[in-house]
Amino acid sequence: MTAQIDPARFANLAIEARDQGIQIVTLNRPSKRNALDAATIAELVEYFSLAPRAGVRAVVLAGAGDHFCAGLDLVEHHEADRSPAEFMHLCLRWHEAFNKMEYGGVPVIAALKGAVVGGGLELASAAHLRVMDQSTYFALPEGQRGLFTGGGATIRVTDLIGKARMIDMMMTGRVYQGEEAADLGLAQYIVDGSSLDRAIDLAHRAAQNLPLTNFAICSGISHMQNMSALDAAYAEAVLAGIVNTQPEARARLAAFADKSAARVRPNT
């Protein structure tokens, strides 16, 4: 691997290495409800630039304290009194960070709790899996604050819940929580206990896949969504050509052929 992640280089992200190449990355400004200031976005860009080349097999993205993330740091934004060009460039940094997450090829699993609002929802929606607990609620309060989303919600949140619900969240400040939020697709998992524990379980599961397979899942599918169906089918075939013939898969295929591999069964 060509990159190394030194946790000491990060101030706003707490990075903890676990077994199986899993890393827990925690937004670590709980006194500010993990609001995303420019420095945190820069650290997300750096972390997700390195992770795919540092042998990380799965990332659990969490928030310190009672809330996942309160979105854009509104106090920093207020005090910086940014010009249109300055804010546009800041948004492009957000996109850089979130695109590196979504297209980096390393599974990213968000462990949600409390407020997942504004840019916090934009961040969560760039993860590949979202796990919510019973305290989790989702909102896009930008509309009420005289703002508009700038970190990809128009694309990713709309993908998750559809255009009409996205417009409603923005226009009326509608809050989604509980089973309704999960049923709509804002999270794939809802748990009674700790979302972090479930996210870590899922990370272990993902980390058992071959890295090249996870790369196809956690990069290829997103890229193909951006293509015409014709081009996506072509790209899928090319990607399958590489992934499905990888030497590392031979042992798994042999185990199926000799009947030693687990069969797919319904849940008990």
**CB contact at 8 A, 62 and 68:** yes
155: its two tokens: 């694309």
In contact, 223 and 211? CB cutoff 8 Å: no
Kindly tell me the number of DSSP H helices and DSSP E strands found in the chain: 12, 9
Q: Does the active-site annotation cover 142?
A: yes
Stretch that binds ligand 1HE, among 47-55, 96-104, 140-148, 241-249 (CB under 6 A): 140-148
Min CB(31)–ligand 1HE separation in Å? 6
Burial of 79 (0-12, 13-18, 19+ CB in 10 A): exposed
Selected catalytic residue, list 122, 179, 180, 248: 122
The CA radius of gyration of the chain, in Å to the nearest whole number, is 19
Member of 35, 160, 207, 218 binding ligand 1HE (CB under 6 A): 35
Among 141, 195, 200, 214, binds ligand 1HE (CB under 6 A): 141
Residue 75 or 254 having the CB closest to ligand 1HE? 75
Provide, rounded to whole angstroms, the least separation between the CB of residue 132 and ligand 1HE: 16
Is residue 115 within 8 Å of 137, Cβ to Cβ?
yes
Q: Where are the alpha helices (DSSP H) in the chain?
A: 38-50, 74-80, 84-103, 119-125, 153-161, 163-172, 178-184, 195-207, 211-215, 221-225, 229-243, 250-257
Side chain identity, residue 182: A
Binding residue for ligand 1HE, selected from 142, 156, 202, 214, defined by CB under 6 A: 142
Question: Using the rule CB under 6 A, is 224 a contact of ligand 1HE?
Answer: no
Identity of the residue, 136 or 219, whose beta carbon is nearer to ligand 1HE in the bound complex? 136
Q: Which of 9, 16, 89, 145 binds ligand 1HE (CB under 6 A)?
A: 145
Let me know if 43 is a catalytic residue: no
For residue 156, state whether it binds ligand 1HE (rule: CB under 6 A): no
Give, as ranges, the residues between 67 and 96 that touch ligand 1HE (CB under 6 A): 67, 70-75, 91, 94
| Site residues for ligand 1HE per CB under 6 A | 31-33, 35, 67, 70-75, 91, 94, 115, 117-119, 141-142, 145, 147, 149-151
